[in-house]
Amino acid sequence: MSGNGTNLQRIAEYFANNPDVEIVNVVCNNPQAYAIERAKNLGIPVRMVGKTEFNTPEFTQEMADLNLDLIVLAGFLWKVPASLIQAYPRKIVNIHPALLPNYGGKGFYGEHVHEAVVAAKEPFSGITIHYVNEVYDSGEIILQAYVTLSEDETPDSLAAKIHKLEQAYFPVTIQQLLFWS
């Protein structure tokens, strides 16, 4: 987790009264991320990780020892190592702020996506929730939801629309993956 943590907050609140769901850990690479404060306020342990450590078999084993049903990426920008993907096939999901396969891949995140979409005068944008594989933003699509761009759309106004989609669809999709897959 690299950023503000609003998706973490929303997911935690969504599952707060569900005894069958526990968020056991938040993994973060950015010590300045406000997500750390959100996790602490929610009583969720935070695990800081550096890039070198993240790519080790020991980190993959540490995650395996947690016996996770699902790994949810929300604002985590690093490429997930193949060893972790292999340990959790179809069990690592990510949310992307565009309609993949467009505006995906290394370097396309957050405002960079919204700026590119607006500059291209796209009529639509949205979110893509997808499984993580070895290539950035190319895993099997689980769900897409879209919004229409207005003629005077700005990257900030588009970001607000996308954020609403994330808040509405990500927790529900996680629930479906946990209980109906």
* pLDDT on residue 180: 82
Q: Nearest CA to 148 among 99, 76, 80?
A: 99
pLDDT-derived band of residue 77, with 50, 70 and 90 as boundaries?
A: confident
Tell me the mean pLDDT in the region 2-9: 82
The CATH superfamily holding the domain 6-180 is Formyl transferase, N-terminal domain (3.40.50.170)
- Is the pLDDT reported for residue 19 higher than 70? yes
Strand pairing partners for 120?
none
- Is the pLDDT reported for residue 151 higher than 70? yes
Radius of gyration over every alpha carbon of the chain, rounded to an integer in angstroms = 16
- 3 against 96, higher pLDDT: 96
The residue from 96, 112, 130, 163 that is catalytic is: 96
Rounded to two decimals, what is the model's pTM?
0.94
* pLDDT on residue 2: 47
Kindly state the tokens that stand for 149: 């761009």
- pLDDT digit string (tens) for 162-178? 999 999 999 999 999 99
Length of the chain: 181
CA angle at 25 for the pair 34 and 78, rounded to the nearest 5°: 65
Q: What percent of the chain clears pLDDT 70, i.e. is strictly above it?
A: 98
pLDDT-derived band of residue 181, with 50, 70 and 90 as boundaries?
A: low
Kindly state the tokens that stand for 34: 């406000």
The residue extents of the domains of the chain are 6-180
Residue 163 a catalytic site member: no
Residue 89: CB atoms within 10 Å: 9
- Is the pLDDT reported for residue 18 higher than 90? yes
